[in-house]
A = this chain, B = another copy of it.
Amino acid sequence: MSGGGPTRAVLLLSGGLDSATTLAIARQRGFEVHALTVHYGQLHAREIDAARAVARALGAAAHQVAEVDLRFVGGSALTDPGIPVPRDRTAEEMGRGIPVTYVPARNTILLSLGLAWAEALEARHLFIGVNAVDYSGYPDCRPEFLEAFGRMAALATRAGVEGRATEMHAPLMHLSKAEIVRRAMELGVDPGLTFSCYSPTPEGRSCGACDACRIRARGFREAGWVDPGALPEP
């Protein structure tokens, strides 16, 4: 990398509110952000359109969409049409263990792809919008996972071996969803561009009933903001 320019980072961009806010934070910190969206056989691709719009609006220097077909893995409501996405679960129900929307080893796969691109770009920073507070109990959203990934990554790549290991950044890790909404608003993220739903309507609208929609709605309510991405009241 050249000496005087901005520092390069790779950022995993799903198209949801959390990764969009992470992108805004990385930009505020002065990084030149190369955004990576992974299409991993999700049953809908609405969030990829959202990711494109978010990357453009928030000034990503580059945006790539990588294709990985995880349908062979199975075992998740997000990649297997035979497993229904749970609806209308309460916060208490969401707190009881890992849900069927868990995709086996998903963040490990996404971070591995980000690590590969970071090495090729000579970027030494890798951002992910995971959050351990107001989330659905996924094991690969916890700080201890991310630290272990960073230690592994330092041994996995040419860059790591040569002393230029990739630093992991998860600036939302310890924020509640309401705090994420407030950060998004402060940084000028347009939530109407983002898309969080696990189970959109045939018209590509948020369902309002899946865990992701409900956690997002609660975050906006607690932060005292209106979500332009939410379904209009009937």
- In the complex, A116 has a CB within 8 A of chain B: yes
- In the complex, A104 has a CB within 8 A of chain B: yes
Contact A120 B75 (CB under 8 A): yes
- In the complex, A183 has a CB within 8 A of chain B: no
Contact A156 B108 (CB under 8 A): yes
Chain B residues in 8 Å Cβ range of A160: 139
Most buried by B among A70, A103, A158: A158
| Choice from B106, B113, B154 contacting A116 with Cβ under 8 Å | B106
From residue A2, how far is it (CB to closest CB) to chain B in Å? 17
Main secondary structure, interface of A, reads: helix
| Choice from B73, B75, B148 contacting A152 with Cβ under 8 Å | B148
A residues 154-180 near B (Cβ < 8 Å) are 154-158, 160-161
Q: Given A148-B155, A156-B140, does the pair A115, B119 have CB atoms closer than 8 Å?
A: no
Chain B residues in 8 Å Cβ range of A194: none
From residue A68, how far is it (CB to closest CB) to chain B in Å? 5
- In the complex, A151 has a CB within 8 A of chain B: yes
Chain B residues in 8 Å Cβ range of A198: none
- In the complex, A225 has a CB within 8 A of chain B: no
Minimal Cβ-Cβ distance residue in B for A158: B98
Contact B72 A64 (CB under 8 A): yes
Considering the chains assembled together, what is the distance between the CA atoms of A115 and B149 in angstroms?
14
Chain B residues in 8 Å Cβ range of A135: none
Interface residues of A (CB under 8 A from B): 64, 66-70, 72-75, 98, 102-109, 112-113, 115-117, 119-120, 139-140, 142, 144-145, 148-149, 151-158, 160-161
5 A-B interface contacts by CB (under 8 A): A108-B116, A112-B112, A144-B155, A148-B151, A151-B152
Q: Which 3 A-B residue pairings sit nearest by Cβ, starting from the closest? A: A75-B120, A105-B116, A104-B119
Given contacts A109-B116, A140-B156, A152-B152, 8 further A-B contacts (CB under 8 A): A67-B69, A72-B117, A106-B116, A112-B112, A140-B155, A142-B155, A145-B152, A145-B155
